[in-house]
Chain A
Amino acid sequence: DSGVTQTPKHLITATGQRVTLRCSPRSGDLSVYWYQQSLDQGLQFLIQYYNGEERAKGNILERFSAQQFPDLHSELNLSSLELGDSALYFCASSITPGDPGTEAFFGQGTRLTVV
């Protein structure tokens, strides 16, 4: 167990709908990362938050948004869902970007299926 909790584990929804994925980082970790992994693909970085503020942005679609709350949990909102959004969404956390040698711990992921 990495200490990073993601809910739900599985999600099936229809095209055009909106869903929210939730991530609780490890205790003490201030940084949260979101990744998308489509079938047999690599890890596509979406967005990073550090202590409540957006730190870096990757290939995140405008239909997607995220935030990190004061208690450091984070939510990834996906709207106007398309079939191609079906993927495994991972959240990872690390202590602080201030230490370059900080391991990122991954949650178990949320498998989103858009039908």
Chain B
Amino acid sequence: GENVEQHPSTLSVQEGDSAVIKCTYSDSASNYFPWYKQELGKRPQLIIDIRSNVGEKKDQRIAVTLNKTAKHFSLHITETQPEDSAVYFCAARDSNYQLIWGAGTKLIIKP
């Protein structure tokens, strides 16, 4: 079955710098890759997603890239701000339409 690995587990960046979180997946049939942001004590919320027929997608300061050959996808956050501090989860939807989750990355934005 599908397996998703997410790195790093914790990422600390200076405010204004960029942050990159990477995920790898194992099932080449996976075709949908969402990223969720979870603030402390709150529910995960979708921030960006990408389908397997697209290589990159941007939404203001966030972007996601997908490399199907290497089976990895990444979240890029530019010009980080204090409100970006949260836990970010990647996921891959496999051929059984099941969302398989990464373990999460705690992003800390240092003032």
Which A positions have Cβ atoms within 8 angstroms of B?
2, 33, 42-43, 45, 48, 55-56, 90, 97-98, 100-109
Contacts and interface: CB of A to CB of B under 8 A. Distances in A.
B25 interface: no
B31 interface: yes
Majority SS of interface residues in chain A? loop
B51 A56 contact: no
A100 B97 contact: yes
B43 A90 contact: yes
Nearest to B53: A101
A2 B43 contact: yes
Given A100-B93, A101-B51, A56 B98 contact: yes
A56 B101 contact: no
**Interface size class for chain B?**
20 to 34
Interface in B67-111: 89, 93, 96-104
Contact of A43 (B31, B45, B89, B96): B89
Interface string B19-35: 00000000000011010
11 contacts: A42-B89, A42-B101, A42-B102, A45-B98, A45-B100, A55-B98, A97-B97, A100-B97, A101-B51, A102-B32, A106-B44
A105 B93 CA distance: 14
Given A103-B34, A106-B43, A33 B104 contact: no
B46 A98 contact: no
Of A90, A101, A103, A106, the most chain B CB neighbours within 10 A belong to: A101
